[in-house]
Amino acid sequence: MQNGLEVTERDFFQETFTDNEIRTLATMVGTENIFARRSPSLKKMGLADKELSDDAMVNLMLQEPKLVRRPLLKVGDKLWVGGSNAAVEAAIIEAK
């Protein structure tokens, strides 16, 4: 329980996303919005400045969970990406 709300946390480094889960999240906000374009992991792969299709981004996120932006805050059918105060506050307001 956090801020009076029941919260389910998921460590997606331990419990990785399935292809279907990633695609569902991508449908909610766009693949580019959940893909960590500035991740050092992407730079190590030599792909930081490459144009990537949605399928390529999904496949990369499945292979390397560090490429999924975090945190992901899902309330009902809405998804907020990133840990900005505004995103967290919006998710809390939506949940109440």
pLDDT band for 34, please (50, 70, 90 cuts): very high
CB 54 within 8 A of CB 62: no
38: pLDDT strictly greater than 90: yes
One-letter identity of residue 50: K
Q: Over range 5-9, report the average pLDDT.
A: 77
Burial of 42 (0-12, 13-18, 19+ CB in 10 A): buried
Which pLDDT value is given to residue 88? 76
Task: Annotate 12-57 with DSSP letters as a single string.
Answer: TTTSPPPHHHHHHHHHHH-HHHHB-TT-HHHHHTT-TTS---HHHH
Distances in whole angstroms, Cα of residue 6 to Cα of each of 13, 39, 43, 75, 85: 22, 30, 37, 11, 19
pLDDT band for 2, please (50, 70, 90 cuts): low
